Structure 1
């Protein structure tokens, strides 16, 4: 999990890959760069798919209450 002023994120899946790649933090960073929660979640999972063999998911909410 990760939370900051932009978003709160929880992840599920193979934990080592999520930690090593900082997937939750990256999702929050995507929101900080202007993506909405859904776009950020999709981008973070896409990154996971390119950098690791594991699978997983993200649920997140941005500071405006949008979910992804």
Structure 2
């Protein structure tokens, strides 16, 4: 039996204390007709990606100035 690759969707979740988490979720459809939802916290990954993108933009700007 061949199963399709799960599709992950990124969502922001607000905790009770107001903190916003970046999360990624998917549903796995089991053979017994149940659905299993799987989520993971990707906040640190998103923050690192934003820092890297900012550094790349700054380097491009510096090259254009030079």
Q: TM-score, normalised by structure 1?
A: 0.28
Structure 1 or 2: larger helix share?
A: 1
Higher relative contact order (CA 8 A, sep 6+): 1
Structure with greater strand percent: 2
TM-score (norm. length: structure 2): 0.29
